[in-house]
Amino acid sequence: MFGHGAPALSLLKRIYEWPKAGKTFLELTFFSLESEVIVTLGSFFRLYYPCQESDKAEKPDWVPCREYFNGLADFMKINRAISEKIFNYLFGSYKIPAYTDAPFKANAPCPVVIFSHGLGAFRTLYSAICAELASQGFIVASVEHRDESSSATYYYREMTEEEKAAKPSVPKTCATDPDHLVTVWMYYRALKHGESEFPLRNKQVKQRADECILALERLEEINLGRPLQNVLKTQFDWTTLENSMDLCSIAVMGHSFGGATAIEALCKEVKFKCGVALDAWMFPLDEEIFPRVKQPIFFINSERFQWAGNISRMRKLDSAVIQRKMITIRGTVHQSFPDFTFLTGNWIGKLMKLKGEIDPELAIDLSNKASLAFLERHLGEQTFLSVFCTMGILSGVWT
């Protein structure tokens, strides 16, 4: 049986026995006055990576700012004014188990995971998964999708000349300076009355897959040492990531809508060697793509979310020659994968279906360790042994 930690109200106070994980922000955008161009070309993700110990490093807020609380309120169809106070009271003080801009640590090229969030979520809500992967030697890019499936997200556009004129103290030559940028928020788009759902979700899953592929392309450029324009202020030394990634060992992973996104991305990009779909919502996918998915897939399902029709669509990806595995973790619910499951008491958690019958720490440990075993098999055992030994996770290997 897999071991698990003592029950806790919050994963964010949990102390990992593995090497520490660091985190930094990345917002890579090509600027244009046309917002559609920015949304298409920009890449927005939170990067998790193995890090060195640092006394100065701080843990970041779990929810970055109030606009995300507003987005969650809209997604849940509750009043913003009331919900913001409730959300801030319940979750506003939590930190994630990673260190902001901590120095990168790796003595061997790290395997890479691109992570896709679920419907109504955003890039920070899966820190239990992403930080655990990073603490075990992965570089993980947790993408924030701009297809209007996130509860909230944002991008930057350049100020118009009129807006610049209203700020005469800002030099007009600094076209890419943050002071010359305007934040534009995007919130979750609900279905319109009488609107068919499949066309919207299918369009979104295709954009989401493209955003995962774009995030991978940005990581490839970072790995090559090419300078990239990050409009978010960060103290992280990006040059330390040059030649840090094993670009022959890349996986895509996601939860719910993100699970469907992972499958779509596998179809579109052969650089992804395998995929992990956590409680995947298969509805957005066009079944015509299934025969074109050639990589191994691991479905990790909750007990309470899945239904016969959804499982039937997963089964259509069965293959006699490519590994397609499926497991169900007993006692789990759909929200056993995002961080919310750790942040509420037992009664409220079960009332809001954020907790199942199983200890949430045991559930995420089972999921994480099953994922790691699958990734080890399909990204290359030698890659993992090299990373684990150089990071001190393994003291030796006997064959």
* Tokens at 351, concatenated: 């009332």
- Neighbour-count burial for 194-231, b at 16+ CB within 10 Å, e otherwise: eeeeeebbeebbbbbbbbbbbbbebbeebbeeeeeebb
Q: Is 237 a catalytic residue?
A: no
Considering only CA atoms, give the Rg of the chain. 21
Interatomic CA distance for residues 252 and 113, integer angstroms: 5
- Active-site hit among 117, 255, 334, 378: 334
**By C-alpha distance, which of 255, 211, 241 is closest to 47?**
241
Nearest residue to 121 via CA among 27, 254, 28, 216:
254
- Residue 195, amino acid: E
Is 149 tagged catalytic?
A: no
Residue whose structure tokens are 């909750």: 302
- Single-letter amino acid code for the residue at 116: S
Rounded CA separation 357/372 (Å): 24
Task: Supply 94's token pair.
Answer: 């939590």
Q: Say if residues 188 and 148 touch (Cβ distance below 8 Å).
A: yes
- What does the alpha-carbon distance between residue 140 and residue 131 come to, in Å, rounded to a whole number? 8
Residue 386 annotated among the catalytic residues of the structure? no
CB 116 within 8 A of CB 18: no
Q: 3-class SS at 182?
A: strand
Burial of 341 (0-12, 13-18, 19+ CB in 10 A): buried
Catalytic residue among 279, 336, 367, 386: 279
Which of 256, 302, 336, 371 does the annotation list as catalytic?
256
SS3 255: strand
Tell me the catalytic residues. 256, 279, 334
